[in-house]
Amino acid sequence: MALSQTQPGTQSAVSEPLYRKLYRAFFAASILLAPLILSLWFVLCPTGAGDPACPDQASSLAVFADFRAMNLQLMQIFLLLSLVSPYVYTLSYIGLGLVAMKRSPWLATIGMACGFLAGIVWGVIADSITMLASMAQVGLNPLFVTVENRYYASWIILTFGAFWVIGHLLGYVLLGIALLRSRMIPSWAAWLIIVSAPLMGPIAYGTHLGLLQILGYALVFIGSIPAAFAMLKFRK
């Protein structure tokens, strides 16, 4: 009799709707793909992996020459990564926040909001990169440099740039702290995400070493592995 009473409960605890499994797998994949895509994007930057701005907003004929000289197949991959980045990147912040939400709701929520502000900026970045690549294929015209510099000097683009810089760095710090407090992942993984922000931000830009930015995303990826597994095991 006791056995017959426990079987339904056991069955309900083990079984889970397919949509929830897909939901968790979707966010787990986004958590891992985002830092990989961004690191590869900076590796493929036509102006070189050593450029943390990719490209520097003070565009010159040298920048257009780099874009013009880039292998066409690699350029298509670079543009494709620019296209998918705003979607995957934004979802990765939401995924990290969901992992920490139950035990650190405020930090997780603010971190996700910062990540959202940063992620949508990649739509503008994709637009500017596509425009620059298109003009470079037309020719090395000084007029293009003037247009590009005026574009980057616009207050709208400068505002988007501020959202990107502040949003993605602060987002990683807040979400890293939230994950640390929630104890949903090992503390070393949370610290890697936290440390990545100053490394890929002020240190990389201050030293003009784009490789540090790539290293920062590598740290995010390593720290995100336990978070992705936590998302796969997540239960409401």
Q: pLDDT of 34-48, one tens digit each?
A: 999 999 999 998 887
Instruction: Centre a 10 Å sphere on the Cβ of residue 77 and count the other Cβ atoms it contains.
Output: 14
- What is the pLDDT, as a whole number, of residue 161? 84
- What is the pLDDT, as a whole number, of residue 12? 46
Contact status, residue 222 vs residue 199, Cβ threshold 8 Å: no
Residue from 142, 140, 138, 125 nearest 57 by CA? 125
Q: Could you give the angle at the alpha carbon of 60 between the alpha carbons of 56 and 36, nearest 5°?
A: 35
**Domain ranges for the chain:** 18-232
Full-model pTM? 0.85
Contact status, residue 210 vs residue 51, Cβ threshold 8 Å: yes
- What is the pLDDT, as a whole number, of residue 81? 93
Can you list the residues of the chain whose pLDDT is less than 70?
1-14, 49-50, 56-59, 234-236
- What is the pLDDT, as a whole number, of residue 173? 96
- What is the pLDDT, as a whole number, of residue 179? 96
* Letter string b/e over residues 186-213, b meaning 16 or more CB atoms within 10 A of that residue's CB: beebbbbbbbbbbbbbebbeeeebbebb
Residue from 167, 129, 100 nearest 42 by CA? 129
Please count the helices (runs of H) and the strands (runs of E) in the chain: 10, 0
